[in-house]
């Protein structure tokens, strides 16, 4: 059996923290042959998709084989794990992966769903689970919403890892200028949400596999910041799911599964859904370390069970 991982350059990945590395290592332990490539290595000749890929032996990290030109039909499963931004190159890669998908290859997550589920906007499908939220480009509408909520956070729709997220009060000096800046003079929509003070207690990352929660961590912001993202200095701690969080997972699970979103990370703050991460969710290493469970192995076991 072969699996292909479409990633950023593998040499740049830190295996101690990276979820893709954890999955590749789990494949190795399951005697699954793993290959790696970048989106630019994908190609199509007529109705047949191919790739220039390298074998990877991850233990010890890492040994790569020589590049080989292969048909994507040779792989049982292809993991699309390229980090954002979801730019033109990313989108074209999903179209090339769909060529393989039409020929019967399993692609995770499903290429059409990667395009449809923006990691901020996708959560709006479940707006009843979210804090009050507005997505808009017009400064007046954003200002009015900020005045209604009192204190808000601004999120760029294409951001990742908490980058560019701003907390601001409705009476802050220069609010108009800030909104003009983040909307590129009212040409680009931005997400504005009511600020949830409970974020200081943590932002829970819950990992769902084929619709079911398999692990979670609580991420607490570093001192002086409200953003809990690990890439920005947030600290991970062990956690369990509350009844409310279990209800959120249950409400999302069927939709995620039906849309081919096999491996997803959702963010929950104070019992409210914040984001649905579908491109390259992280957190496996932290769950394994803090909960002492072989989560990556469980993910691969679930893959082999659900897609034999």
Active-site residues, by number, are 120, 155, 205, 219, 227, 267, 275, 277
Tell me the two tokens of residue 302. Answer: 């679930």
d(CA 3, CA 72): 10
d(CA 37, CA 56): 10
- First-to-last C-alpha distance (Å) of the chain: 11
* 8 A C-beta contact, residue 16 and residue 36: no
Cβ neighbour number for residue 171 with a 10 Å cutoff? 10
* 8 A C-beta contact, residue 57 and residue 28: yes
Q: H helices within the chain, ranges in order?
A: 19-29, 88-102, 111-116, 139-149, 175-182, 243-258, 284-291, 295-306
């Amino acid at each position: 059996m072969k699996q292909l991982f479409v990633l950023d350059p593998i040499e740049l990945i830190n295996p101690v923290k990276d979820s893709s590395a954890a999955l590749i290592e789990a494949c190795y332990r399951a005697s699954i042959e793993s290959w790696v490539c970048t989106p630019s290595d994908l190609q199509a000749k007529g109705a047949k998709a191919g790739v220039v890929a390298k074998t990877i032996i991850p233990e010890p990290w890492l040994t790569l084989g020589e590049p080989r030109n292969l048909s994507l039909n040779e792989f049982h499963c292809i993991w699309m794990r390229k980090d954002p931004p979801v730019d033109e190159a990313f989108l074209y890669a999903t179209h090339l992966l769909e060529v393989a998908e039409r020929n019967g290859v399993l692609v995770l997550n499903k290429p059409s769903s990667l395009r449809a589920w923006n990691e901020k906007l996708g959560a709006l499908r479940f707006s009843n689970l979210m804090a009050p939220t507005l997505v808009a480009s017009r400064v007046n509408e954003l200002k009015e919403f900020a005045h209604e909520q009192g204190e808000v956070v601004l999120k760029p729709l294409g951001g990742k890892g908490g980058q560019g997220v701003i907390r601001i009060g409705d009476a802050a000096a220069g609010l108009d200028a800030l909104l003009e800046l983040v909307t590129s003079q009212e040409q680009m929509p931005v997400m504005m949400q009511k600020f949830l003070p409970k974020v200081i207690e943590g932002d829970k990352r819950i990992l769902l596999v084929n619709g079911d929660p398999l692990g979670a961590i609580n991420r607490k912001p570093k001192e002086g910041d409200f953003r809990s993202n690990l890439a920005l200095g947030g600290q991970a701690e062990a956690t369990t799911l509350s009844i409310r969080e279990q209800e959120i997972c249950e409400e999302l699970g069927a939709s995620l599964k039906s849309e081919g979103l096999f491996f997803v990370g959702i963010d929950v703050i104070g019992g409210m859904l914040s984001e649905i991460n579908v491109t390259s969710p992280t957190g496996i290493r932290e769950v394994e370390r803090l909960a002492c469970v072989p989560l990556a192995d469980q993910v691969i076991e679930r893959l082999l069970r659900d897609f034999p």
